[in-house]
Chain A
Amino acid sequence: MYEFNYHRPTTLAEAKTLLESNADAKLVSGGMTLLPTMKLRLARPTDLVDIGNIRDLGGIRVDAKNVEVGAAVRHAEVASSADVRKAIPALSDLAGLIGDPQVRNRGTLGGSIANSDPAADYPAAVLGLGATIRTDRREIAADDYFLGMFETALEPGEIVVAVRFPRAKRAAYAKFPNPASRYAVVGVFVAETGAGIRVAVTGAGACAFRVPEMETALGRKFAADSLDGIEVDAAELNGDLHASPEYRAHLVGVMARRAVSAAGG
């Protein structure tokens, strides 16, 4: 790992100043992605700004409509929160499926969605529930947030503060994990919220995406067999040593049906 300076601000304002005054500074949250990347010398920040001590980025807040999770909240905290389990059980389930216990004890929601790994789990819930990403300067709708592989709508220096997930009437997440890393080869999040039915896929494409045809079919009848015959185009999907595009396309259908069944359809 190259040398860097380490900063531990306690307020969002301080963190912003540090990012603004050091052109090659980077935020570090759980460090579960950034530190391995730095060890490989694929990232070379001059300064690391640790956001783990900023109170405004922590905490889980549940009200009648939403569950808001701070950017620095660790996966283990979401998985074990009784409030989240009661409000959106599919979200606790998803958090509990990320990586392994030690990854969940360090990794955070903000780090996961800022990184937007194509195989990450949280993007499926963010897009599948139609969540809103709150940053230090604006709010971004999930539909406008995921732009491509490791690419999001975040501007340089923009800090994710929290994500607001609307409560769902029903929702479930089904994933086919890579047996070694537990990252999603394919994961599908299905939800019915006040705004309608959404189906979001992670692991299969450059970033999380929705499947409108499945959403329409489930709108007519919320049942696994409503999805029969609906296929996603393999030409758009990822192929690597874990799965071919065609296999991923097949898995999208299987995981979507499993998610619908788990959500009671």
Chain B
Amino acid sequence: MTVTVSFVLNGEDVSVDVEPRTLLVEALRDRLRRTGTHVGCDTSQCGACVVHVDGRSVKSCSMLAVQAEGAEVVTIEGLAKGGRLHPMQEAFREHHGLQCGFCTPGMIMSALDLVSQNPDPDENQIRHWLEGNLCRCTGYQNIVRAIKAGAQAMRSA
């Protein structure tokens, strides 16, 4: 049995037929072909799948697509505007906040939720905020640096 779910994805109205058991991340990647959102663990631990639903960061592997009915969903693909990277993306590039890049979309979406609540987070606040985002490559130092710089760039933008 399939049901139709409609929501706003990166500012665009979308409708997609899914099974009730289809996860939001599966709908995004497999049905809507937005593959920037990754699946790392599929057990709600790693944060590779973080997207924004109605302005808050959530793990899209732990939410059903049908639960996004009527919501505003933003994925990593929704950040760059007019061919220019979002300041937070630019900061990750500039500060080498990634190595393999697998965790990066989730890191950035999570960081943006932090900055929306706390425009000037200190290092400690950033580290605590990233409790739900795992990176197997970087050791986090440059991720924290990038988020601090990204927040700064957003404040002065």
Contact = CB atoms under 8 A, between A and B. Distances in A.
Interface of A: 1-6, 8, 31-32, 35-36, 38-39, 48, 50, 52, 76, 80, 99-103, 105-106, 180-182
B62 A101 contact: no
A6 B5 CA distance: 12
Interface residues of B, number: 30
B113 interface: yes
Nearest to A1: B21
B131 interface: yes
B94 interface: no
Interface stretch (B64-72, B75-83, B136-144): B64-72
A49 B108 CA distance: 33
Contacts of A36: 43-44, 62
Nearest to B57: A102
A31 B47 contact: no
A49 B67 CA distance: 11
Interface in B38-60: 42-45, 47, 50, 56-59
A31 B63 contact: yes
B131 A101 contact: yes
A222 to B, nearest CB: 30
B3 interface: yes
Given A39-B43, A182-B131, 12 more contacts: A3-B21, A4-B21, A8-B66, A35-B23, A38-B21, A50-B67, A99-B132, A100-B133, A101-B132, A103-B132, A180-B45, A181-B45
A102 B66 contact: no
B19 A35 contact: no
Contacts of A35: 23, 44, 62-64
B19 A3 contact: yes
Interface of B: 1, 3, 19-21, 23, 42-45, 47, 50, 56-59, 62-64, 66-67, 69, 110, 113-114, 117, 129, 131-133
Contacts of A99: 131-132
Contacts of B21: 1-4, 38
Contacts of B3: 6
A32 B131 contact: no
A101 B129 contact: yes
A106 B63 contact: yes
26 contacts: A3-B20, A4-B20, A5-B1, A6-B20, A6-B64, A31-B67, A32-B44, A35-B63, A36-B62, A39-B43, A48-B20, A52-B67, A76-B56, A99-B132, A100-B47, A100-B131, A100-B132, A100-B133, A101-B110, A101-B113, A102-B50, A102-B57, A102-B59, A105-B56, A181-B45, A182-B131
Contacts of B59: 102-103, 106
Contacts of B129: 101
Scoring B47, B62, B132 by chain A CB atoms within 10 A of each residue's CB, the highest score goes to B62
The 3 tightest CB contacts between A and B, nearest first, are: A100-B132, A6-B20, A100-B131
B110 A102 contact: yes
A32 B62 contact: yes
B114 A101 contact: yes
Contacts of A102: 47, 50, 57-59, 110, 132
Scoring B56, B63, B67 by chain A CB atoms within 10 A of each residue's CB, the highest score goes to B67
A100 B129 CA distance: 7
Nearest to B42: A39
Nearest to A2: B21
Contact of B58 (A38, A50, A106, A180): A106
A38 B21 CA distance: 10
Contacts of B117: 80
Contacts of B44: 32, 35-36, 103
Nearest to A47: B20
B139 to A, nearest CB: 16
